[in-house]
Each structure stands twice: as structure tokens, then as C-alpha cells.
Amino acid sequence: MMCLHILASLIAIAISGGIVYRRRSGRCTSRKLLNNETVIITGASAGIGKATAHDLARRGARVIMACRNLAKAQRVADIIKAETGNPQVTVEELDLSDLESVRRFAENIKKKEKSLKVLINNAGAGVRSRQITRQNLELTMATNHYGHFLLTNLLLDLLKASAPSRIVTVSSKLHGVARQLDVENLNFRNASEYSLLAAYAQSKLCNILFTKELSRKLEGTGVTANCLHPGVVATEGFHKVGTWRGYVYSALAQVIAKDCLTGAQTTIYLAVSDEVKNTSGKYFVDCKESECYPQADNEDLARRLWDASERETSV
């Protein structure tokens, strides 16, 4: 009986904490419209990417959903078009873990699009065991960092020609778990050192270091680059972990985490708000500029990561 009381108390505390957490979450209050402005969102068929696509379509943007699963993405695109009344929502194939797919996507965009106002590097992945891609890269790093690094670089000329334009990259507060970064061993050559958390945290640290170095390289071009932590969000990612822990975390997330629309608010804020139109190289949480962990502010590390990423992607 005592155990039931304790369990009930813990559940009540979790629910109360979740309510407070969600109410304190940042909201994008900008009413800015993006009429006919082209936006690319990677991983837009689910989670915060889907919520972001829906919001920007509602603002009148031409939304290009860059996704691996075309059938799923098209179903989502059709729903977004029906709900927003915006017919300018299209799907293009992009598998960020395959650098050849990234190159094909970028070439296709450059042939078809005359302008690109916002690039949102949203897609993310994490796998339980070390897997290697066609280009001999670790899968989590390839999807979360290398793919976005290559995509962004291949689209930079179009973004510069469309300035003022923005690059928004979804990182995570979990970047703090990666206390060190060996740029010569980003792909976990020693498989015994690999874990889902280690790989995911490393990739999210790379997202921030990449954003900061990119911002320095873009100075004076009219293109800004910022990154963000979306918060703890109840997405499909917990289910994809495929373990009992993943299902437990998924159940807990429904109680204590943000829903996907709330989790997308900082992404939307960085994509549309006039408050940050001249801000670049910063890290945001809940629609506010925030401090990241010290390792993410290391300029020398950011330069070395950039050089290593250039070598791995042959950009």
C-alpha cells in the first residue's frame, strides 16, 4: 500500500512539473508573414520539423520538406496544405546519412529555386549500436552533422544571393555531455567506445561549433546562422530507440515534456522574428539567447572541426 502511495505521489509530481515546464516554455509571438519566400526544412515529416513546416506554411512560405521517407512526407504535406490553405508545400528526397543524396538534393534545389530565405537543419537521429554509412561515416554523426554541414555549404551561394537570409540548426542541451571532442575520431573507430548518448551528444556539440564557425565565415554576407535547444519534446524519437527504456521515456515524455508545436517555437522564432534578423552565431533556448557549455565556445576546436568535416565530406 505504501508503494502505491509513493508511486501516486511521484506521478502527481511529474504531472505538476510537466505543466509548469510547458507553461514556462518560450513562445514565438512574431506575426511576420513569409509570403512566397522559400524555406527548406530537413526532417519535416514528424516531430518539431512537422510543426515548423505547418507554422511557416501558415505564414505563406514556400515550404520544401526535405525528407528520407517520401510517402510519409507527402501525406504530411497534404495535411499541411489542407489545414493552412497554402498549396506551396512540396516534398523532396533527402537522406542526410548519404552524402551522395545530399549532393543530388542540393543540385536539384539550385536548378529549380531562384531564392532561398531560410534553411532549417532540423533532422536528427540516434542509433543504439555503431553503424557505418556508404561513405564510411558513423550513422548518427552523418545524419546530424556531416549531412547538414555538406548541405549548408552546397546551398551557401543561393543563400547569399537571397540575403538577407537565415540558417537555423537544431542542437540540444545534451551537447554538454560531450566534454571533449576528438576531431580525428568523430566516427568512433573503436566500436567499444560507442553509445547512443555519446554519439548523439557529440553530434549536437558539433552542431553548435559548426554554427559558430559558419557565422564567422558569413560575416558581412547578410546570411545569419544560429542554433537552438528545443527543450525536452515528446517526439517519435523515443519510440525509435526500440528498447524498454525508450518506451518508458516515451510514456514519461507524454506527461512532462513539451508537445511538438511548443518544441518548435524557438526554431520558428529564429526563422521569422525581426528581433534576431541581425543576430548570428548564437545559441537559443525558449526563444532567448542562452549560454552553451564551454566546449561549444572553443573557437580553435570549431576551426579544427570545420577542417575535419571538409575532409570527410569532400565539400
DSSP alpha helix (H) spans, the chain: 2-23, 47-58, 70-84, 99-112, 139-141, 147-161, 196-217, 237-240, 244-256, 260-263, 265-272, 299-313
C-alpha cell at 236: 517519435
Active-site residue identified among 21, 146, 194, 200: 200
User: Do residues 228 and 285 touch, judged by C-beta distance below 8 A?
Assistant: yes
* Amino acid in the structure at residue 12: A
Catalytic-residue membership of 283: no
- Reference 270, options 287, 251, 250; nearest CA is 287
DSSP character string of 121-145: E------SS--B-TTS-BHHHIIII
Q: Is 34 helix (H, G, I), strand (E, B) or coil?
A: coil
Burial of 38 (0-12, 13-18, 19+ CB in 10 A): buried
Catalytic residues: 200
